[in-house]
Each structure stands twice: as C-alpha cells, then as structure tokens.
Chain A
C-alpha cells in the first residue's frame, strides 16, 4: 500500500512538472507596436538645402567628400517597385531634387513615396555619372552606391509617409538644370514611338516624347515590369523624374500611373526589323532575275536588301517582299511606316514600289491584284536614310490584306535598296 501511495505521488508530479514548464518556453510573441520614427538632429549638426549640397559638386567626374556635419532632408518621390528606377532613391525639397545611389532593391518598402527622410551627408561623397549629380560612396575612384547594410547609418526616417510633392508642371523648352532629380509633369504631349514596347527585352531603351515641336527622351529599363507594354497613342500628361546623361535630358516614369490621358488601343499589326537575319514575318518572291531580297545589316542597323548586281554582272530582276496577312477589319487608323536607303539609282525611278492586295494568298504575287501606294517617301539615293512618314492605310479594308514592296531593274539601270523598320499600327476595334 505504501508503494501505491508513492506511485500516486509520482503520477501527480508527472502531471504538474510539465505544466510548470509549459508556461516557460512556448512563447506567443507580442505584435510590435507601429513605430512612428522621429528624427532628432544631433548637436552640432546643421541642415542645408539639397541645392546647396549639390552645388558642392562643381567639377564634372570629380569625387567630392563631405566632411562637415550637414544633413539634407526631403520627401521620397521615387519608387523602385516596378524596377524602372533601380538602386536609386530620389528625394526633393523646395530647392531641388537629389539622387541617392544605394546598393539595394525593393527600397519602396523601406522608403515609400511620401516618406520624409533625413540624410546624414558626412562620410558620403558627391559625384556624377555623365553629368547627373548623386550622393553615394566611392567605387573604383568614381561615385558608387552606398552598401545596403550602411543605409540605416545615413538615411533616417521621420514620421510615417505623407503626401507626395505635387509634380512641377513644365514644358520641354522650359526645363532647367534645377529640375534634375525632381518630379516634373509634361502636359499635352505625345509619344513618337507609338505601339513600340517601352523597352527592348535586353537593353534599357530611349523613346521620344514630343510636344509637336520639342522632344524629350523617356528612358525605360529593360527590367521594368511594364517594359513590354506598348507605348500608347494620343496626347496626355507624363509625370516622371528628370535625369541627364551627358547633354541629353531623360525622364523616368515610376509606373504606368504616371501616364494620364493616353490611348493604349493602338497595336502593331506588323513589326519587322529583319534583326533575326532572316526575312522574319515577311516572305520574298523572285519573279525574274538572279538576285533575291535578303536580310542584311550595316553598322547595327538591320534591313532587307536587294540589288540586281552581283560580281560584275547586272541582271534584270523583279522581286517582291510581301508582308504577313493583316485583318484590317479589326482596326481603324492604320498607318504604315518604314525606312529606305538607296544607291546607284535615280530618285523616283520606280525601281521600288509599294502595293497592297486583298486577294493574295501565297506564292507568285503576279497572279493577284495589287494596288500601288504612292504616299510613302522613299530614299533619293546616296544611301540617304529616309523615313517613309506615316502612310495612311485607313482607307483599306478587308480580312486578308498584304503589303508588298516590288523591286525591278533592267541590266542597265540597277539600283540597290535597303528597306527596314516596317511597322503597321492600328487601333484595335
């Protein structure tokens, strides 16, 4: 019986002891309170304006260290959420805008739009990359990025994010160097490169903004999440951050919300640059002669090329370069664009003509009905690179439309044509 009592006691212990520990180690963590950061300027430090700071960098490509205990403060106007702005943070105060170069991505979480920050400048450096002044740290003798781990030592948050400064409305000719690094807004402008992607897949790309007279570069990173979106038509306003590269001013948008009033319905029906080294989406057809249209390139430019001359022999030729089929009933406001470069022929000699057809299917084009398009501007010779201008195709309808370029030559009058950048755009119904 004595043993039984002991047993009972032990079993009670068995239940109690774990219960004691239960409270000990399995933690439920409290939610940390929202932190409203309040920056306090250290004793002996002073605040200067962004403009005053940038003015310390006067000699291009020079690296200027900041050795006195100065701070600048501004509100974040950039966001790297789409990846178009990369490893850069732009803040502005009433005097100007500042590019801070940081070795970090996804900064929009830590430094969101509208966030006021104070920047401790002592220990940092001013420099420029092709004329664009920036705050950073040395890298290989020039200005480089502040390592991400050190961000917290130089950038201080103040309060929670608030309103984003209203972009200054400017016109292209009135932009000044004071606007660099700040948010500006252009109204009633349009894009020249409608229906082209904002950026090529492999390299950052410049597109052109036009107010009808003056132009400004819109630069988009190939890493931007919207880079494949086609540039919209019509006029609207564009908000972005102004930068400079050498003598070229460049505008960076943060995301597509920075474009207001544009029309995205314009699409490309045909877009052939012959960059693949083949005829691409086009087909060539040799009616007579020894030569054919073939893909070629010169100094980075790609095109289709033809000449009736080969190795000292001139042959009479008739060669067609035919587009893929287009259903123009699905579109309105169709426009054809291309460029030509010609040599060894006479201006307007008719050795290259542009046509369209409603009944061509495939193979020999001479059995189909073709109507000539005469409104395109063609190269006048001496390799003059000539843009066709916007060739209006809106009068053409049909579900099976082809565009064709016909080259002809005799044995005595033999021109060489280079033809590229062929685009047909239209508004989708």
Chain B
C-alpha cells in the first residue's frame, strides 16, 4: 500500500509539470427578475460547480469541443445549454433559471419509516443522498427508490457523510448522519452540494457512498418569504413551515429564519403520533470582499411514537401488515409505550475567507448538544406486558409441545385467535391493567410491577473543520483540510413514569432481577450500583446503568485535481486519528472491579487514499474510473463488550479495511443523458454486534441470560451495476429510468465472540457459517421507470413505476453455528435444519409500486402559489416487506425456527402528501 501512495504522490507532482489545452467557463445565474442566484449547481461535463452569492460560477479545465452545461436548483427548472468550447475563456454571460416554486419538493422525504432491532432502536432510515443532481440514477435512488429502503450499492448510512460548511454532522458513535437533527427544516437546508460515490469533492475527502454539504449561508438563500402547509397520512398529518430570507442586503448582512411544526395523532401506522417543532436562524455578515462570517443555529425538538416489527403470524391473524404492538389504550386513549424524544441543537460559526481569486479558506466551529431518549416498558417479577410476546400467540400452543411434539389443542388455538382478532385489550398493551396491578402491589407494600423507563443519550460535541481550495493553475486544483472533533455522551436510564396515582406513589428498586435470579442469595451481584445499593427509584431518577463515551478524532486530508484536454485525474490522501474510552458512573455488582471509573483509552490511526481518472472521448462521452482504499477504526460499540456494565473490550480488536472501485461510461447530450457504472467494494474485518436474550431451554451448557454477540472479521463484497438514463422526447416530456443490480455477499466464515452480560458463564467463541449469505438492509435489485412532464404553464407531473427485489432478511448469526444444534439429532437433509440455517428473502417475488405527483404554480403579481400533490404506492401494494430480521433468541427445545420467527416491517400502502405554499 505504501508503494501505491508513493506512486500516487509521484503522479501528483509529475502532473503539475504537464500542461494541455483546456478552457474555462464563466457566467452569472439569475432568476427571471434578474436577481443573482446563489447555490445553483452548475454541471459541466461530469463536474459540478456552485454559484456564489453574486450568482457567479467559474468552471475550469473544460475540454475543447461541444459540452453541455446544466443548471440545477431545487425549486427551479433544470436548464441545459449546449456550448461549443473554442477559446480559453468562454463567457456565458447571464443565464436565467425559471422558478417552479414547490414542484420539486421531495415526496419521499416524508415517507420515513422506522426500523428497530430487537433491543435497540436503530436510527430511522432516510436516504443520505437527497440532493439535486442531473444524474438520473442518483435522482431516482434518492427520490423514488428510497421508499423501498433502497440504498445505493447496499452501503450502510455510516458510509455517507453530511456536512454544513465543511463540518461533518455524522454521529461519532454510529458514524451515521443525524438527519433528525434538522428534520422539519426543509426550506433552510435544501441547498446542498453533493457528490455521489467515490467522486472527488472540494470540501471533504469524501466517503464511500457520497458526501453532501448543506449550504446554510444566509447570503446564499433565495430572498423570500415562504409559508407552506402540508397534509399527509404518512408519518405526520400536518406540517406548517415558515421561512424568511433577506438575501444579501445592502448593509452586507443576510438573515434566514425558518420554523416549522409537524403534527399528527397517528401516522399511517397506528400509535405513531408525531409532535415535532423546528427552528433555524442563520445570520451572515459580509465584512469585505475577502471575509464573511456566518452564524447558524438550529434545532428540531421532536416527540414521536414508534413502530415495532412483528411476526407474520400476528400480521396474518389480524389481516394487517401495519400492526404495531407498541401502543394500547389508557383510559380509552391511545398511548404508545415507545416514544422517541429528541432535541439536539447545533450551533455553527463559519468564516469564509477569499484569500485571493484562486484561494479560498472555509473554517467552521461547531457545537452541538442535547438529548435523545426512547421510552420502553420495564417490569419486575410480573407477566410480560408486550401483547405479542411469543407465549401469547396461538403458535405457542404448538411450539410448547416440545416434549412430545404434540400439536396444540385446536379449540384453544381457535379461541386465542378469536381473542386476538376481536379484543384490543389483548392485542395491544393493556395500560389500565398495568395500573391496576401496580395499585394492588403498592397497596401490599411492594414495589411497582410495571414502569415506563427512558433510555437516554445526552451528548455534547465540539468540532472544528477547515478546508482550503486553491486553484494552483488552469490545470491543477488543490483542496485540503483538517478536522478536529471532541465528543462525549452520557448514557443512562431514567424513570419516566411509575404508572401510579390514585393517592399512591410507587417505587422501584435499582437491582437487576435477572442477576437476582441467577446469583441466588448473592445480594451484591444484583446491584446496579454498589455505591448506592438497593436504591429506591422514583420518577425522574437515573437508574440501571450510567456511563460516558468519549470519542476524540482528528483528520488531515488533501486532494489534487488535474484537468487536461482529454484526461482528468485526481489523487487524494487522508490521515485520521481516533481515540475512545468509557467512563463508568456506577459500580456494577456483576463487575465491581471494572465498571466504575475510566477504561483504558483505545487509539487508532487510519489512512485513506483515492485516485481516479476521467477519459473524455469527446465532450459528450466519458469514461471514469475511481479507486479508493481506506482503513477505518472500529466503532465504540464494536469494541466494548458490555458498555452498560463494564470497561472490558473484545480481545482481538480489528480495524476495518475497505477497497472500492467503480468504472463508468457517461453520455451527455441535450436530449439524452445516461450513465452505466460497474462497481466493486470489498469490506475486510468488519464487525457486527447483536444483543439478545438467550433462551437456553435446558440445553446443555447454556443458560438463560442477556448475551452480547460480537461477530468480528467479517468480509463482504458489494458488486453490481447501476444504470441511469434520461431521454427528452419533447421539450416538456422526458423518460427517466434507473436501476441497479447488485450482489452483496458475505465472503467468509467470521468468528463470534460471545459474552454473557451478567458474567453468568465464561466468554466463548463460535464460528459463523455465513459464507455467501446476502447482505441485508436494501433490495439488491431495484429500478424505476418514469415519465417527467413539464413545465407547461407551470404544470409539472411525474409518474414512476418501481420494482424492488432480492431484499434479504437480516440473519441471526447464532443460528449459523454448531452450537445451534447442540444435542440435536438433526442431520443433513432434515428440513428443520435448513429452516434454521437458510437465509430468507423478505419477499419471494419482486415488488412493484407506482408513484404519482402533480404540481402547479400560480403567479399572481409577485406572489407565487404552489400546489403539490404526491401519491406514493398508488396501487396500494401492502405486501412489500422493506426490512426484516431474524430474532436471535433461539428455540433450544424443538431446534426449530418456528418459536422465534423473523419480524418484518412493511412498506406503507397508498399514501399522499399534499402541500400548498405561498412565496413572495
């Protein structure tokens, strides 16, 4: 690898001596009134430039000959000019773009569903690539296919990066962008500069999947007052958004303010209420022609009722694929037990320094802080309150027959099924009964039996990012920067609701009931905090666990772009240092010696290198090759064995290695625009962690307990082809098509390191037999074919037919071990064996959906009134599973897959989003 880097550096320097004939293109973009437009993406060949506050853009290194220049901006018609480049400096003068008002408001931004793993709430999935692009595939992937949980190239969100003024907003713990931090601020955050895949950018080294830089500079926002109201049946019902932008005023100040609320008593899925607000303020002062200072602050306090996956048995029984076990009636009102409550404000101070015409320095200091909590029911020595607990299902009567293989009594099964279908006090959480049991328990002088707890993550983060853009000469453009990030989070549980009242006050004891059972008679083991043994917990108290995560990181990067007549190329290098550790704030009874205080610090040094070349066959045909290699420190949760209770880490900490490459052929004509790309990415030494409750069922050598399961040394290969094309049939009608065929697979048999959270049994290892299994999380095949109409008298319409296939259920690694068959008499050829080990697709057949959207803008004097209706899944396909996971809990009685089958989330059926907006 060192040789490769050396070679790349040599190329870098050698290239600066080369010279060739290229041209530059300049111009100013304005709206129809002649006002300059900032933040417009100007695509020249396969490169993208942004207009500055004065609407100016300058594209360098343009090859001679015919080339297309495309202007893209949300809310405006996309405009393409064909330019014959025949002199060193091509001045395009003023280019006007027409407003469409709300026509391009993304319909998919609101079709956000929620995915939850068994014990941990994953972040909601939103495509990280929602951005304007003249690449048909990227548009389709962002707007149309994301509703089917399609992720380009099958990459996890942690491989995409979202920044504001060069400062990355990815969560240091998960690596994923925190989209919810700016939820409801669509108007204020929709100017983005994005790059897809490995393509180089000038504000960041880039990531595997793509990078977006949200432009929040007030001077770049369109001068406007805009109010909009949206009505939907997706995750919320009402949205009101107000935005005010001054543009750059004569006193050289610019201000943008925006606020919104999203509200709904119930989304498409029952019980998923929405109660969210958002605020945004950005103030910019242009000090002189060289310096601008910008302050931006925003936040999105949101409370949401969450959805949980259920098994197909329940969905079928209720004939409802959107059954949500999280809610139930309390006093006749719908109450959700799983409420996500988050507010994580971000404050940014940026300095834009135009050192010269050729050199620009952007520096941003950011601070974010806040709290995210998710509530859940907890219970002590009492019956499981979750309605879909497996022993409450009709199938339990069959599955409990493990000793004799006896099927359940058919009359009882029929009776249970009938109750499920007709009695919501049984098919949903029975809050009234939980209160009643608590009442009786407290009356008898005992602790509360049922409570609502909230798992809280409170974080603070200080970040500094600075990058320099230097146009060394006509052929060479250098970008480079540094980032420093100091992060701390405090993780704990807090008592949210004791479910008491009627003159009583309940209490809870801070002990672990599983340890109390497992270490009978040992009063210390069960303590969650030996410093405060047997502490009595009331509403608002911290309990259970309490620890801090510290993650500090820094990186330094540089990227050189070289532009010549027929060949462009780039090389880049990035060095990253990461350090993290844990600090325990409780002395846990299971681990009195290694839970309280700071752990050792774990440091990682990583590097990344990338290079690419574009061969310009003509000004309309390009061949592009990108290559990248990087190492990536494991995440905190990949390393710490049981961070809630102890400082210990897995014995063999591995650094991830990623080698990726893609080769594209791009065609750009005014009426025909297409790209075909073949890609291949190898992940080496990846880690996956699952937490679950082991049901040992009397199997030899196993015990019932919480288990943390670390699969390390995972190798994966993501390869495939993606195609996108757009054909203009007549000026107002285009055919748009795009799709991807992927093959994302596990390529080895990794090892698992298994630890009992309570320390009940010693740690052990297992080999996971998952070679050639499919990577889950996205359909591996997906595509869309659409017609795009407009603009004609301010009318726009889109129709898209989409298909999704080869989406695989996330497999439970512990079912692919020799331990899963411990003591069984299952032999090769037994159907029960393959039922346990074979990986399942979410849907056996490809799924189809149809989306429609229509919009119309009215212009009355200087007021634009926009109406936008989008209808997703018009044909109401309610059979499409967007994601599914196998329960890790295993049935050691029957060794069958029936007792704990996979749980699924279904894509929404027909939904609509109707919006009206006024802009002046």
Contact = CB atoms under 8 A, between A and B. Distances in A.
A105 B261 contact: no
Contacts of B263: 21, 24-25
Q: Across the A-B interface, give the 9 residue pairs with the lowest CB-CB distance, nearest first.
A: A31-B501, A140-B406, A18-B261, A21-B263, A25-B275, A32-B432, A14-B242, A106-B382, A109-B437
Contacts of B406: 139-140
Given A18-B277, A32-B330, 15 more contacts: A13-B242, A17-B240, A29-B331, A30-B330, A31-B500, A34-B436, A103-B400, A107-B383, A109-B381, A112-B444, A137-B409, A137-B412, A140-B401, A147-B396, A161-B440
A14 B279 CA distance: 11
B545 interface: no
A125 to B, nearest CB: 10
Interface centre among A25, A106, A228 (most CB of B within 10 A): A25
A153 B419 contact: yes
Contacts of B412: 137, 147, 150
Contacts of B500: 31
28 contacts: A11-B242, A18-B259, A21-B240, A24-B263, A25-B263, A25-B264, A26-B275, A26-B303, A27-B335, A30-B331, A32-B330, A34-B436, A35-B432, A104-B383, A107-B383, A109-B382, A109-B383, A109-B441, A140-B404, A144-B409, A148-B383, A148-B392, A149-B419, A150-B419, A160-B440, A227-B520, A228-B520, A228-B521
A166 interface: no
Contacts of A104: 383
Contacts of B400: 103
Nearest to A145: B400
B484 interface: no
B380 to A, nearest CB: 9
Contact of A138 (B264, B274, B409, B426): B409
Given A18-B277, A24-B265, A150-B419, A10 B227 contact: yes
Contact of B225 (A6, A31, A35): A6
B851 to A, nearest CB: 28
A299 interface: no
B770 to A, nearest CB: 35
Contacts of B264: 25
Interface in B32-58: none
A10 B244 contact: yes
Given A32-B330, A140-B401, A140-B406, A10 B502 contact: no
A103 B392 CA distance: 10
A225 interface: yes
A81 interface: yes
B724 to A, nearest CB: 40
Interface in A1-53: 3, 6-7, 10-11, 13-14, 17-18, 21, 24-27, 29-35
Contacts of A203: none
A144 B382 CA distance: 22
A429 interface: no
Nearest to A113: B444
Given A14-B259, A109-B383, A140-B401, A150 B440 contact: no
Interface string B234-249: 0000101010100000
Contact of A29 (B261, B330, B416, B437): B330
B82 to A, nearest CB: 39
A167 B309 CA distance: 49
B448 to A, nearest CB: 11
Interface residues of A, number: 46
A110 interface: yes
Contact of B415 (A13, A106, A153, A227): A153
B273 interface: yes
A310 interface: no
B449 interface: yes
Nearest to B393: A149
Nearest to A30: B331
Interface in B361-414: 381-383, 391-392, 396-397, 400-401, 404, 406, 409, 412
Contacts of A3: 225, 920
A31 B502 contact: yes
Contact of B416 (A33, A140, A149): A149
B268 to A, nearest CB: 16
A77 to B, nearest CB: 16
A51 B722 CA distance: 77
Contacts of A257: none
A18 B242 CA distance: 11
Given A25-B265, A109-B449, A81 B436 contact: no
Given A21-B261, A149-B426, A10 B225 contact: yes
Interface in B447-461: 449
B242 A29 contact: no
A412 interface: no
Nearest to A224: B520
A139 B396 CA distance: 13
B431 interface: yes
Nearest to B261: A18
Interface in A78-122: 81, 103-107, 109-110, 112
B225 A109 contact: no
A374 interface: no
B845 to A, nearest CB: 34
Nearest to B383: A106
Contacts of A17: 240, 242, 261
A35 B275 contact: no
Contacts of A18: 240, 259, 261, 277
A30 B335 CA distance: 11
Given A112-B444, A228-B520, A35 B436 contact: yes
B811 interface: no
B333 interface: yes
A152 interface: yes
Contacts of B426: 149, 152
A6 B226 CA distance: 11
Nearest to B381: A106
Given A10-B225, A17-B261, A149-B416, A32 B436 contact: yes
B804 interface: no
Contacts of A107: 383
B137 interface: no
Contacts of B470: none
B679 interface: no
Contacts of A30: 330-331, 333
Contacts of A13: 227, 242
Contact of B435 (A7, A10, A32, A147): A32
A31 B435 contact: yes
Interface in B312-361: 330-331, 333, 335
Interface centre among A7, A18, A144, A228 (most CB of B within 10 A): A18
A12 to B, nearest CB: 10
Nearest to B227: A10
Nearest to A140: B406
A148 B389 CA distance: 11
